[in-house]
Structure 1
Amino acid sequence: MAAQDGRCGLLAPLPPLPHIDLMLKFMPILLAIAYALAMYRFSVWRTQRELDARSTDLADPMLKVMTDRLARALDLPRIKVHIYEIDPVNGLAAPDGRIFITRGFYRKFQNGEVTADEMATVIAHELGHVALGHTRRRMIDFSGQNALRTALAMVLSRFLPGIGVWIANGLTTLLAARLSRSDEYEADEYAAALLTKAGIGTAPQKSLFNKLEALTQARSGAAPAWLMSHPKTTERIAAIEKLEARWR
């Protein structure tokens, strides 16, 4: 065999294939997409398993009166609520549409710190998250944000070693906070309309916001509103009052 490229018996190295180069360039994005899909499925499974293991049905006569009023306003036979056995004061909606009140929140009601009308506003708010598709989208957003964080960290670390990961974390945190605040405003608006239709009104909704402010002030401190997952209490109340003015 004739020598080629000045080297006896050796062929010149083949040039890299264009499609291989293209795959290598987009490998971080492909890996991020695969990671997002895996995280989404795992997050849904883990959330449902946790809620199943640590929840019971809410059986309270006073609160059933309130949920029945909400159900009639929505033309539903009933609204089932569950107690999630954790201490922090919170309400949540699961990806499968179930509504939960934490044991800590229910304890506030039992102690007289929160009224039945105010508890109804929490349930209406979580119903809003379900009706508006926030619960499933939040799982997708959470997975997508993790994937975006991973992809950004991989790309930025090539150009900014040492701080690329920090920048990626900061950008995705800001994005998550903004999406979450938008969802909260929408769920507040849904709850205000539902509470008005049910004859409960928005006064308990606003009074509960002020109570929650007192309960969570120590935790949130002076964090800027754009970094918080929930809007400021004054802004949420102002948004509801704008709705009331528009409805009048």
Structure 2
Amino acid sequence: VWNRELREIVQLAKAAGALVVVDAVCTLSTMPLEMNAWAIDVVITGGQKGLSSIPGVSLIAFSDAAWERVRTRTAPNTHWCLDAMLAENFWHNAGYHYTAPVSGVLALHEALRLVCTETLEKRYARHLRCSLALQSGVRALGLALYTPQTCRLNSVVGITLPEGVTAREVCNHISQQYQVEIAGSFGLPIVRIGQMGEQCREHHLFRTVHALGRTMSDLGVKVDLPAGVAALEESLSASSREARR
């Protein structure tokens, strides 16, 4: 999980002689992640979230130190699917590890092409701009964001549920009535809105804030839908003005 203290966490881990493994499934290409510069040893991600490809292909990158640990390990693997040396040999030399998901690899290639065409700098800026706008819209509706500003990702926004409604009720209603998909959480009284890759576009934000406001109102929660949409629009307009300076 990416957070804004990751570099400091890596330094502490290195001082203790540990390798650092980062789950970047929501954050790779949505906000900065410097594997080499920050001395991260392993980055794991999937194609379907931050990279905006299809599910079915996972990616993993190893530092030299991580590869050395793999090569010199003495404990047996629990399953051949988890044998990194077999996978490395499969991709770069010869042999067999698994049946390659050809359509998934081609989809990932196209997703990465789009990332490179946009450039990472512009992609980071787009995700930040849209995330801040969505946060403004949600707050103006009268709902509370779950995490403090310093801990928020550009790719997912967590919203604390008001008393009287459950995540299941909200997610089911917004899906069935407004054809917008959001998610619950694992034990927390929140719902989550993901905005990654092609989901992270301004027109999707307006539809989502409108659907969320209507859903809450339908379920008996008092919200200010016009204020939410206005705050979203103002945040996007302000960031556009700033970019033109």
Fold conserved (TM > 0.5)? Answer: no
Return the index of the structure with the highest Cα Rg. 1
Tell me which protein shows more strand as a share of its residues. 2
TM-score, normalised by the number of residues in structure 2: 0.26
TM-score, normalised by the number of residues in structure 1: 0.25
Tell me which protein shows more helix as a share of its residues. 1
